[in-house]
């Protein structure tokens, strides 16, 4: 049984405001994610309109049952549909950004490996780079003038590591990657191929400089 329109429950201003906000967010997230991934303005406009279109379709489907035909229920359905669409689109956008970032890291690693091994200064040779897992770039470097067993680990930790960290963060190419969310780990070996230690970098290091 459908109530007369005059007696049907109506949404309050808080519900109407929340629904309006999430309808707009769903449209903006659709537009923004599509435009960021493709740069196609017409496709982005279509993606921005689509959430509202699908929300209306779902409201109409629910309205098949008389119980859901009141303005209150229709507004609630529109709200929760818009919320779900916004969440899904934000998650898809984040996943797309991660994929693009990881693809970029693979290209950087391939470019480094295309030139490796190479001397980056008189005492250090860059051996290779490895992409992954995720947003990680691992670089292997060798100190060509010293064996690992001759490294004073206390001196390494107190003096050498801070200097290496400072020099790396002053490199525009590395700092640019780190600021974009790439985690970089540089692993150091002696000329005897024995591991000495590693230094890890993330976005916090760039914000602190």
Identify which has the larger pLDDT, 150 or 4: 150
Give 29-56 pLDDT, tens digit per residue.
888 777 776 777 888 788 888 887 888 8
- The pLDDT score that the predictor gives to residue 59 is 83
d(Cα 31, Cα 120) in Å, to the nearest integer?
44
- Out of 3.60.15.10, 3.20.20.80, 3.30.300.250, 3.50.50.60, the CATH code matching 116-207 is 3.30.300.250
d(Cα 61, Cα 193) in Å, to the nearest integer?
67
Identify which has the larger pLDDT, 141 or 50: 141
User: 207: part of which helix (H) or strand (E)?
Assistant: helix 203-207
Look at residue 168 and tell me whether its pLDDT is greater than 60.
Answer: yes
Domains of the chain, residue spans: 5-98, 116-207
| Reported confidence tier of residue 3, pLDDT bands at 50, 70, 90 | very low
Q: Which two tokens stand for residue 106?
A: 């693979």
Give 96-109 pLDDT, tens digit per residue.
778 888 888 999 99
Look at residue 84 and tell me whether its pLDDT is greater than 60.
Answer: yes
| Reported confidence tier of residue 1, pLDDT bands at 50, 70, 90 | very low
d(Cα 78, Cα 52) in Å, to the nearest integer?
9
Pairing state of beta strands 136-143 and 183-189?
A: parallel
Give 118-137 pLDDT, tens digit per residue.
999 899 999 999 998 989 99
């Amino acid at each position: 049984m459908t109530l007369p329109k005059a007696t049907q429950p109506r949404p309050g201003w808080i519900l109407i405001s929340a629904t309006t906000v999430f309808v707009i967010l769903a449209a903006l997230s659709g537009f923004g994610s599509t435009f960021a991934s493709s740069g196609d303005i017409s496709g982005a406009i279509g993606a921005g309109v689509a959430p509202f279109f699908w929300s209306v379709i779902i409201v109409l489907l629910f309205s098949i049952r008389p119980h859901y035909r009141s303005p209150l229920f229709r507004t609630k359905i529109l709200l929760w549909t818009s919320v779900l669409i916004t969440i899904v689109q934000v998650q898809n956008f984040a996943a797309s950004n991660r994929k693009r970032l990881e693809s970029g890291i693979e290209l950087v690693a391939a470019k480094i490996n295309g030139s490796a091994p190479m001397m980056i200064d008189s005492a250090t040779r860059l051996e290779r780079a490895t992409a992954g897992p995720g947003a990680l770039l691992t670089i292997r470097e060798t100190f060509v003038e010293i064996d690992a067993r001759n490294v004073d680990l206390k001196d390494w930790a107190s003096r050498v590591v801070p200097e290496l960290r400072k020099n790396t963060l002053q490199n525009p190419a590395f700092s640019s990657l780190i600021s974009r969310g790439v985690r970089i780990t540089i692993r150091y070996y002696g000329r005897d191929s024995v591991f000495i230690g590693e230094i890890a970098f993330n976005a916090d290091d760039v914000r602190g400089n």
